[in-house]
Amino acid sequence: MNTADYISLEDQYGAHNYQPLDVVLERGDGVWVYDVDGNKFMDCLSAYSAVNQGHCHPRLVKALSEQAQQMTLTSRAFRNDKLGKFYQTLCETTGYEMTLPMNTGAEAVETALKAARKWGYRVKGVEPDQAEIIVCDGNFHGRTITVVGFSSEAQYKEDFGPFPPGFINIPFGDARALEAAITPNTVAFMVEPIQGEGGVIVPPQGYLKKVRQICDKHNVLFMADEIQTGLGRTGKLFACDHEEVRPDVAIIGKALSGGFYPVSAVLASKEILGLFRPGDHGSTFGGNPLGAAVASEALTVLTEEGLIDNANELGEYFQERLAEIPSPHVKEVRGRGLLIGVELKPEAGGARRFCEALQDRGILCKETHQTVIRFAPPLVIKREDVDWALEHITEVLNME
Ligand SMILES: *Cc1c(COP(=O)(O)O)cnc(C)c1O
């Protein structure tokens, strides 16, 4: 089978809910991936920041395969010997008191929304079924019906209504709009500290601090969706750490397992997560020993191997060097750590053709929002890899 055969097989039997680049990958190692024709590419997407630890990290391969031979799934009807240790590693690494494990990011977001509503009724004293949660325009929190219901992206919602009520949208990065939108029924504000899918949008300096103050003043939970920005991607454990702000609820996923297995989690205080009673919420696979074993190791790899500092150092370097590239097409380079967006001018003809040109030169990127090229390589990247990529990016950003 060649590339065309693999693609036609996918297209024949699978729903076409993605438009992937025409590259069929079969192997990965660190920042590098290899296709079925033997071509080598630098992965500058990292599966939307799920592979922060690099492809097939040997310690994660070991943790996964050892656990797979031992025990994979118990369900939460029984306890397993890996879950408690995972909780402990997660809470000690992040400084939160409690966690609730799920699988995908969207499930963790749903869990956080449930937690916020429950807290609103039980602790804040909001009347039944009146809770309001404030979210931002341009958000991306996943693809469930509840979550797309408060997306401002028309295509995410089209044909999928009706949607659950109780969500209010405000502009991103605007602290005044947040304060103005709060009512006595507001239980939470949920926000991405940097909007990833929205186009790598960095809010104004001081925004998250103001959000913290406003939420404190009005007794509203501050919930950060750190699924993409968390776990080292931006050069700190959490993107909120750049403003030394601690949300009441942090939602993580993606890199929590280093891309081996879907593992997500909600992190919060006992006051919030302690409200869940047996039977309130659950997931067959959530907290399974295979996921717990690999996620514990993935967190340890992040901290022990200095990946967060590397993201900070090389992210700054990458971003500075990108901004220096003389190019007729670039409007702005922005981001934090190794979450970098290059926004092209409207007349550049869209980001897709630049991503395809980068693919021809051995770099895999994905455009976001038509005009932004996102560079988010695994955090194990080395300076010489960045330099190699910059050479090719310079050429591509100077094509006709
Ligand atoms: C990817 C992502 C999600 C959804 O995660 P899934 O695992 O795809 O469900 C939610 N929020 C943010 C910020 C994300 O980047």
Full-model pTM: 0.98
* Residue from 35, 82, 118, 140 carrying the catalytic annotation: 140
Residue 263 near ligand 1, beta carbon < 6 Å:
no
Q: Are 242 and 312 in contact (CB under 8 A)?
A: no
Residue 335 makes CB contacts below 8 A (sequence gap 6+) with 194, 200, 202, 234, 315, 319, 341, 375
Distance CA 132, CA 83 (A): 33
> Which residues partner with 332 through β-bridges?
343
pLDDT in tens, 46-98: 999 999 999 999 999 999 999 999 999 999 999 999 999 999 999 999 999 99
Q: What is the atom index within ligand 1 of the atom nearest the CA of 228?
A: 15
Residue 139 near ligand 1, beta carbon < 6 Å:
no
Residue 225: active-site member? yes
pLDDT in tens, 343-356: 999 999 999 999 99
Predicted confidence band of residue 214 (pLDDT cuts 50, 70, 90): very high
On average, the pLDDT of the chain sits at 97
Residue 375: active-site member? no
Q: Which of 141, 191, 257, 369 to mutate to test the pocket of ligand 1 (most atoms within 8 A of CB)?
A: 141
pLDDT at 320: 98
Residue 140: active-site member? yes
Q: How many CB atoms lie within 10 A of CB 307?
A: 24
Q: Which of 111, 190, 194, 228 to mutate to test the pocket of ligand 1 (most atoms within 8 A of CB)?
A: 228
Instruction: Look at residue 369 and tell me whether its pLDDT is greater than 90.
Output: no
Q: From edge to edge, which strands make up the β-sheet containing 363-364?
A: 25-29, 32-35, 40-43, 363-364
Residue 196 near ligand 1, beta carbon < 6 Å:
yes
CATH code, 88-304: 3.40.640.10
* Residue from 35, 225, 248, 385 carrying the catalytic annotation: 225
